[in-house]
Structure 1
Amino acid sequence: MIKTEPKRGLQSPYSRIIFGLSVSDVLFSLGMLLSPFLAPSSLSLAPFALGNGQSCEFAGYLNIAGAAAIPTYTLFLTYYFMRRIKYKVSPQKFSGLEEKIWHATGILVPVGFATAALSMGDINSYPNGTMCFLASEPYNCNDTGNKCNRGENVAIFTITFGATGIALFIFLMVVLYMFTHHVYSIEKDFRIPASSTPTRKRESNRHLNFMLNRQEPNQDSDSNTSGRESTNASKSIFALSNIEINRTPSSGQEEAQSSVMHDVNLSHNQNPPQEGSDETDTPSPRELSKKALNQSLLYIFAFLLFYIPGMVQVILCGLNNNAKDSRVFLWWSSTLYPTGGVWNILIYTRPKCQKLQKDVPGLTYIAAFILVVLNGGEVPSLTDLGIDAVREPDSYTGKQEENFDEQHQQNYLEEREILHTQMKVNLDDLSSFMRSMVGIDSIMEKNQLENENMDEYDMFFLDLDTSIGPSQLENCNVDSRVLSEGEIGTSEWDDPSSRNA
């Protein structure tokens, strides 16, 4: 299913890792399935045995190769998630030497173990014929004092094989800890208290931009300094009227979003966004990181549930000739081992099934899983499903719309308060700007206004009317509606004589 995906196939490192993990599951499950039938027929306690020594070696080769490749590729997958989320490594960069080394390790180490066991004659059947794996012939011949026909050094090989599995498990836990710690660090950083914090941050950013823009006129020292000062001052004032509502995500956040969405298919969608839906909303880096962590944890959980009991059972059989204490692990591993690949398929298709359920409300998970599998592992388009547009009924989203309206109203009130505060700042700066343009300070000294307690804005506009006159005001392109709202456009003086005045 992974290899035959219609759009991606094995194009991404994530798909190639999952493909390698799936092949490992197939090898091990196939070896487990064939072992009871390919065991030597001479075994009296093996009622289903139909094979011989060579056929048992074939089944044992599959078991050893698959058992060694599964933890290797599970570690590989968790390591890949950590590199993509924590270190922001792109798929193109990871697909170079780094991925090649991991794939070479995931292939050569299992094949090397299986080939070495085969060449030393350590692959034999258990006495009851349940599994062809690391064993001696006759079984436990070293402890019973009998002569071993095959597998004299199987205990040493079993310990080496088990120690390798334990080392891979330790590395897996270390990588998982690093990945989990990073994701929850992101979660902690995103917990910003109180809605006033973003408001204060926006106000401080605007004030900082204004102060930086006010420094520009002082940097000009040529003959046209006064003209550029007026232009820069007007630009700095006009720039203050632009209220920033939405925060733009950083480049690291955008990279994390595109990384997880592309590789893990957490938000994979072949369908264009429908009108009235929320499909255009990009998930936050926090949500994507948590989804990637959950996906990795599911793969690790499947590995621990299905394969660790078998490894424990093999180690106990190698260290203790009396395998009664490992019988529980034998039943556990024999029951769950063949279903490991099925669980990996369920985990792999889980994000896509959730996406399809979001596109088609009311669709059950089982139906979504069948549709994804039949579509080659991809989310089928709404056109393929015979659906033109999918919109949730009003009764279903009524509560959500009500909550959205309340939140929208609260945001509007906050932004309006910011706008009113900014209008006052703009008027203060506009007053200073206009005073420098028309020489209002010298006129105020000559006229000696009678009412000294008059408001500053009234004094400013009164002197402006008496000094400039109606004819000059007509040449001013500043709209009165804009002045009243505190939002100054890119107005300029049309008359050169008025500008010089």
Structure 2
Amino acid sequence: MDGMEENIFEHNATLAVGSESNTTTIAVSSSLSPEQEAVVAFLPILPSLLSIAGSVCIIRLVHRKKYRAPYRRLLFGLSAYDVFSSLFVPLQSFLVDKETSRRRFAVGNEATCNFLGWGFQASCGCFLYFGALSTYYLMVVRFGVKDEYFARRIEPFMHGFIILYSLGTAFAALGENLYGEQEIGAGCHLAPNESCDSACIANLALILIGIPYVFILVLVLANNLTIYCYVRRTVRQYVKNSQDRAEQNLSSGLVADPNVASNRDGSVDLDKPIEETAAVSSKVKTKIAEVENQQKQVQLVRTQSILYSAAFILAYMWTLILRAAISYTEGEPGPEMEADLYLFMVFRAIFTPSMGFWSFFIYIRPRYLQLRRQTKESRLQTLVRVMQDDDIRSIRSSLNNRGSAYHSNKDSRYSESRRSETR
């Protein structure tokens, strides 16, 4: 009897009759084996739990800082949406309608399928917050926008648009009864029905999910490329000016030092003891060390932004690949394609729900590296200490120190030039 049920699951189609419309719908069975079905169904559970734990830790750290900075508030919104999204991902294979679904572990009904579709659409706020966070980095690093101005003029529109768009589109699709089980992959989202055929659903999916996702992806890549080029150019310019300044200090110190004998032609008497010039040389070495430290801090900002973008791409690229494969398939896409796309379904089950987990480690990374250099504690002890603070202060201070040092260096060089002209 069990063998007969297994054979029916693998090879037979499920017939569903619509009593009101007198139409017959055939749900073609999946081409996945029972083992593959189990992997796709149960694999997202652990990444989702880790992602929820990571996002909750970020929310806790942000709450301890009383949400005083735009960076923290944007990260709070991102983490809140990630918790919301991670709660829905493990349910995709279980809450679909068991009467019509091809999923082996389906236990839901039409109402639970609509609930899954609503949650999937509302979760789009997660990647929208990624775009907002990337834009914040760009405006702070590249254009020097102050937190006060950003919080008053820009941030409210970001939060308002993301919340209204994600929840508004989710409820609008629910009101039009547009949710149903996906043709390929587990879960429910926009699906054809009597009021909207396949072409109509494809256009709606492109408008509601496709275009926003591609726009955010391009925005994140463009922002990080701009930040990378700006930081690289600024660091090079700052290092060059600082080295020139250090050489001038060394030359002026050697000539002006009364303990250093000089000939009539202005050359330094090398017969004097080396200790007499050690103090000036030490100042130059200290200045070079400060320049190198500034360079490392600025590069840390660039790395932080790149890591956030990498987490975003790693989480959502698999869904984009699956949708692209479906769109460019000859003929009507159907469940018989799932065996060919199984590997991408596995990657999506692993990485899509784990974004909060990676975001947490990216968030605490600067503070963790700082404490590891300052203390001799173990990695676990350092990690516990890091969870009591956040990283944006060190990032912002490094940017401010870099900018103030650069401008003060230019001012000092200008003043010295004016003094020499006066003399």
Same fold (TM over 0.5): yes
Aligned partner of 1:114 in structure 2 is 170
Query: When you count helix as a share of all residues, which structure comes out higher?
Result: 2
Question: Is the Cα contact below 8 Å between 1:46 and 1:128 reproduced in 2?
Answer: no
* 1:156 is the counterpart of 2:200: no
In the alignment, which of 32, 36, 41 is matched to residue 89 of structure 2? 32
In the alignment, which of 357, 373, 376 is matched to residue 342 of structure 1? 357
SS at match of 1:121: coil
1:94-109 aligned within 5 A: 94-109=150-165
Q: TM-score, normalised by structure 1?
A: 0.53
CA distance in 1, matches of 2:246, 2:348: 54
CA distance in 2, matches of 1:65, 1:192: 50
Aligned partner of 1:297 in structure 2 is 306
Question: Is the Cα contact below 8 Å between 1:123 and 1:134 reproduced in 2?
Answer: yes
Which has the bigger relative contact order, CA under 8 A and spacing at least 6? 2
Query: How many pairs align?
Result: 299
Aligned partner of 2:189 in structure 1 is 133
CA distance in 2, matches of 1:317, 1:90: 45
CA distance in 2, matches of 1:150, 1:41: 23
* 1:73 is the counterpart of 2:88: no
1:15-94 aligned within 5 A: 15-66=72-123, 68-94=124-150
SS at match of 2:180: strand
Cα distance, 1:342 vs structure 2:
0.8
- More deviation, 82-91/283-292: 283-292
- More deviation, 343-352/126-135: 126-135
CA distance in 2, matches of 1:120, 1:315: 26
CA distance in 2, matches of 1:85, 1:164: 25
Gaps of 5+ in 1: 138-147, 208-242, 248-277, 380-424, 430-501
CA distance in 2, matches of 1:338, 1:163: 21
CA 1:157–1:354: 2 relative to 1, 3 Å: same
- Name the amino acid aligned to 2:378: L
Q: Deviations for 1:420-445, whole angstroms, at most 9, x for unmatched residues? A: xxxxx9xxx9xxxxxxxxxxxxxxxx
Gaps of 5+ in 2: 1-56, 256-279, 392-419
CA distance in 1, matches of 2:297, 2:244: 26
Question: Is the Cα contact below 8 Å between 2:221 and 2:309 reproduced in 1?
Answer: no
CA distance in 2, matches of 1:75, 1:179: 14
- Name the amino acid aligned to 2:142: K
CA 1:15–1:72: 2 relative to 1, 3 Å: same
SS at match of 1:192: helix
SS at match of 2:240: coil
CA 1:194–1:105: 2 relative to 1, 3 Å: closer
CA 1:127–1:300: 2 relative to 1, 3 Å: same
Q: TM-score, normalised by structure 2?
A: 0.62
Question: Is the Cα contact below 8 Å between 1:183 and 1:293 reproduced in 2?
Answer: yes
CA 1:190–1:378: 2 relative to 1, 3 Å: closer
Question: Is the Cα contact below 8 Å between 1:123 and 1:132 reproduced in 2?
Answer: yes
Aligned partner of 2:220 in structure 1 is 172
How many percent identity over aligned positions?
A: 22
Aligned partner of 1:182 in structure 2 is 230
CA distance in 2, matches of 1:154, 1:286: 51
- Name the amino acid aligned to 1:9: K
Cα distance, 1:15 vs structure 2:
0.8
Cα distance, 1:99 vs structure 2:
0.9
Question: Is the Cα contact below 8 Å between 1:125 and 1:135 reproduced in 2?
Answer: yes
Structure number, greater radius of gyration: 1
CA 1:155–1:316: 2 relative to 1, 3 Å: farther
CA RMSD after TM alignment: 3.5
CA distance in 2, matches of 1:109, 1:341: 21
CA distance in 1, matches of 2:169, 2:368: 38
SS at match of 1:166: helix
